[in-house]
């Protein structure tokens, strides 16, 4: 397995744009940022410039390092060319199994045989993506958190066929970009963080739907009593109610048990998706 000096990130959306930026900040890798949409590549570039400028203004980055970091990122729509030159490929396209399988068959056709291949999926374990991919032992999940330039954690998840060498390379890469890796030894839906979040959120819904306490009081109780920076309903508004709804439904399909609570489903059906739509459990239009 080659030393990782070049990284291709597939998908320049919310996650891919920041995984690319965090990698470039470290100063050790060239980054090819791939998207099928030119417009999305332009948006990603604008976001990276904005975040970099803010980091300089706040004294967290020198002007020289900022310019050098942006210079290491090359946006492109040429997936094959970007992947062919990469030691590590991180897939970060939509959370949709068919879309991801399509991208994985394309990237596998172009990747070098010694490249590490990873998915940033929050819920789709690597074993569901590597059907027909040559060398499934070099594939794993690398689950970063939003926003990547702020959130330090990355869950590295070993699939049934993932080799020790791949796990080591993935963990070392995460450290090399100043993020903190944890290893999930076996695939499980939601990995570590989302399982704990799901458990807390499901209990919060039971309290709400049973009429035991309000949204605001449940969040206040968790913040002041457990010292969490956000309550469960605030976290859902921040991440997107549709994202959480999709994850719960996906878990129900895989593991059985109850699906999404009514208080969540109804809001998603009304288009109340949290901050991104202006309303979720809270009104964000005036915040």
Ligand X SMILES: NC(=O)c1ccc[n+]([C@@H]2O[C@H](COP(=O)([O-])OP(=O)(O)OC[C@H]3O[C@@H](n4cnc5c(N)ncnc54)[C@H](O)[C@@H]3O)[C@@H](O)[C@H]2O)c1
Q: Is 117 in the site for ligand X (CB under 6 A)?
A: no
Q: 208 or 250: whose CB is closer to ligand X?
A: 250
The dihedrals phi and psi of 55, each to the nearest 5 degrees, come to -65, -35
User: How far apart are CB 144 and ligand X at their closest, in Å?
Assistant: 6
Q: Is 237 in the site for ligand X (CB under 6 A)?
A: no
User: How far apart are CB 59 and ligand X at their closest, in Å?
Assistant: 27
Q: Which of 119, 121, 141, 194 is catalytic?
A: 194
* Bridge-based pairing state of the strands 139-144 and 153-157: antiparallel
Confirm whether 122 is a catalytic residue: yes
Which residues 1-30 are close enough to bind ligand X by CB under 6 A? 10-16
Chain centroid to Cα 153, Å, comes to 10
Instruction: Please select the residue that binds ligand X; options are 24, 34, 201, 236, rule is CB under 6 A.
Output: 34
Spatial contact of 142 and 91, defined as CB atoms under 8 Å apart: no
Distance, in Å, from the CA atom of 219 to the CA atom of 31, rounded to the nearest integer, reads 39
Confirm whether 29 is a catalytic residue: no
Q: Is 105 in the site for ligand X (CB under 6 A)?
A: no
Instruction: Please select the residue that binds ligand X; options are 23, 40, 48, 52, rule is CB under 6 A.
Output: 40
Spell out a b/e string for 35-51, using b for 16 or more CB atoms within 10 Å of the CB, else e: beeeebbeebbebbeeb
Confirm whether 143 is a catalytic residue: yes
Q: 107 or 208: whose CB is closer to ligand X?
A: 107
Q: Is 92 in the site for ligand X (CB under 6 A)?
A: yes
Instruction: Please select the residue that binds ligand X; options are 5, 36, 67, 178, rule is CB under 6 A.
Output: 36
Residues 6+ apart with CB under 8 A from 237: 274, 275, 280, 281, 282, 284
Confirm whether 146 is a catalytic residue: no
Spatial contact of 20 and 44, defined as CB atoms under 8 Å apart: yes
Instruction: Please select the residue that binds ligand X; options are 38, 62, 94, 105, rule is CB under 6 A.
Output: 94
* Bridge-based pairing state of the strands 73-76 and 88-91: unpaired
Spatial contact of 209 and 252, defined as CB atoms under 8 Å apart: no
Instruction: Please select the residue that binds ligand X; options are 4, 103, 118, 268, rule is CB under 6 A.
Output: 103
Instruction: Please select the residue that binds ligand X; options are 23, 122, 149, 162, rule is CB under 6 A.
Output: 122
Q: Which of 6, 17, 155, 234 is catalytic?
A: 155
Q: Partners of 140 in the beta sheet?
A: 118
Active site residues: 122, 143, 155, 194
């Amino acid at each position: 397995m080659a030393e990782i000096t070049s990284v291709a990130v597939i998908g320049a959306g919310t996650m891919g744009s920041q995984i690319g930026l965090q990698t470039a900040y470290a100063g050790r890798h060239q980054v090819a940022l791939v998207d099928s949409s030119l417009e999305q590549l332009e948006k990603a570039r604008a976001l990276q410039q904005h975040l970099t400028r803010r980091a300089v203004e706040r004294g967290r980055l020198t002007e020289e390092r900022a310019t050098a970091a942006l210079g290491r990122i090359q946006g492109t729509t040429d997936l094959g060319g970007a992947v062919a030159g990469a030691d590590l490929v991180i897939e970060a396209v939509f959370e949709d199994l068919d879309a991801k399988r399509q991208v994985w068959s394309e990237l596998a056709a172009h990747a070098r045989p010694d490249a590490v291949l990873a998915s940033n999926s929050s819920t789709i374990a690597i074993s569901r993506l590597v059907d027909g991919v040559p060398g499934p032992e070099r594939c794993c999940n690398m689950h970063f958190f939003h926003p990547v330039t702020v959130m330090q954690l990355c869950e590295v998840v070993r699939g049934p066929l993932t080799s020790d060498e791949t796990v080591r390379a993935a963990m070392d890469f995460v450290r090399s970009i100043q993020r903190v890796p944890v290893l999930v030894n076996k695939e499980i839906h939601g990995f570590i963080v989302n399982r704990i979040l799901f458990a807390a959120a499901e209990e919060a819904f039971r309290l709400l739907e049973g009429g035991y306490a309000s949204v605001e009081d449940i969040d206040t109780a968790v913040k002041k009593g457990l010292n969490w920076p956000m309550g469960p309903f605030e976290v859902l508004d921040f991440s997107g109610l549709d994202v959480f709804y999709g994850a719960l439904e996906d878990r129900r399909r895989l593991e059985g048990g109850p699906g999404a609570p009514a208080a969540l489903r109804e809001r998603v059906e009304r288009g109340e998706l949290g901050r991104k739509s202006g309303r979720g459990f809270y009104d964000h239009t005036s915040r």
